[in-house]
Structure 1
């Protein structure tokens, strides 16, 4: 069978991921780099990804709904960290998180044991969608910043509150600006990272695996390519 099918059957990722594995020179057959999905392999060939036999590598791709006050450390023994939220199986994996959401904020965090995937996501420089709830019905003016690309508001007359939504490429600046608004009611929440929206069925303090479509969306190199 060809290498693309082989990697698919051995659960090495989505079709998009497998294409990137080959293109990035991360697949070897008998210690020779293979970059064509049509390359044929047999049962006796030694196929490796990132130097590891494919039978021993099943990458994890996770999305967390990070609680307030939690840091992005994924060591299971670290208190008030993402690592303390992991189940017994995932505690055994060398997971890393995108280090882009400070502990005072909540919401979407992506983590994986595939460092190339994390590098691909970082390369996209996706905008983050940040939200904060304010008491009262007066919509405040947000501090001007060239990194703030879109600001929208929603007034709830019944509950006497305002939800302010900010799309920005500068997460620390966005969180600082939203947190400084008067009558802030709760922490800043990142509801989306680029095309990855916080799952509605993912409570604060929990996580799940990314779906194949989500993995390909957040790690797609199309955005970078079109800018060159």
Structure 2
């Protein structure tokens, strides 16, 4: 592979930015300073930029503990995006798998694996997504059955059966809910349908992937091999 392409893939910028980096004389291959972008590198070569080893993988998977205030998009001219929370060495072609509202916190998967993202988001797959929420209004046992039967939230069809667990019932209730689809503002609209309002929402899991609670809000980490394997197995991504 050409050295400039390798550095681009490793997250050091565009081809022109990488050429500037090379001209500055801070790039070495196996300890030797290299300035020519067309230099070919082989597997096992050690590439460093400004004394830091430059590594990359073609496919990456990151777990983000999304904070409120960031939008689930790859770019926006006015608002902060979740990509700004990734480390500098993350690939530049990552994208969020699905969306969390700007004011919603919790688990967000970022990857450049388009096939897995499609499988996780496909309505036909019915991948479970579990949320914790605080609710303005009293959530009653009869609402558990209503969620299971499906609710009219103004779409053509009722929602699919959802599992509602009441953690605390009162003027402000606390719940966990598992849904099997991803309609626009779905959890908020489901509670509006029963006369309540979501005041805080946090996603806890998506399929087998659970939020690592040791991650501080705003922090991220690469997925483990086990987490990646479980996601691919449960969606059938490896089978087709």
Normalising TM by the smaller chain, what interval?
0.5 to 0.7
Normalising by structure 2, we get a TM-score of 0.56
Deviation per CA, 1:133-186: give whole Å up to 9, x if none: 225654273572543323222243799743242323134253232452656463
Q: In the alignment, what sits opposite 2:203?
A: 190
**Residues 134-173 of structure 1: pairs in structure 2 closer than 5 A:** 134-135=135-136, 138-139=139-140, 141=143, 142=147, 144=151, 146-156=158-168, 161-172=173-184
Instruction: Provide the aligned length of Structure 1 versus Structure 2.
Output: 174
Partner Cα distance (2:108, 2:207) in 1 = 12
User: Which residues of structure 1 form unaligned runs of 5+?
Assistant: 1-43, 46-54
Structure-2 separation of matches of 1:118 and 1:79: 24
| Contact 1:62 1:207 survives alignment (8 Å) | yes
* Paired residues of 1:76 and 1:83 also in contact (CA < 8 A): no
1:211: which partner in 2? 224
Runs of 5+ consecutive residues of structure 2 not aligned to the other structure: 1-41, 44-54, 153-157
Aligned residues of 1:65 and 1:203 also touching (Cα < 8 A): yes
What is the distance in 2 between the residues matched to 1:160 and 1:72? Answer: 28
The match for 1:34 is: none
Checking the alignment, whether the CA contact within 8 Å between 1:132 and 1:187 is kept in structure 2 is yes
Aligned-residue CA RMSD in angstroms? 3.7
Deviation for aligned residue 1:110: 0.9
Mapped partners of 2:64, 2:111: distance in 1: 11
Q: Distance in 2 between matches of 1:158 and 1:71?
A: 31
* Alpha carbons of structure 1 residues 195 and 102: separation in structure 2 relative to 1, 3 Å: same
Alignment of 1:90-101 (within 5 A): 90=90, 93-101=92-100
Cα 1:199–1:178, aligned 2, differ >3 Å: closer, same or farther?
farther
Q: Distance in 2 between matches of 1:149 and 1:114?
A: 29
Q: Distance in 2 between matches of 1:222 and 1:198?
A: 18
Give the greater-gyration-radius structure (CA). 2
Change (3 A) 1:68 1:171: farther
Secondary structure in structure 2 of the residue aligned to 1:64: strand
- Alignment check: 8 A CA contact 1:64 1:208 kept: yes
1:183–1:219 distance in 2 versus 1, CA, 3 Å: same
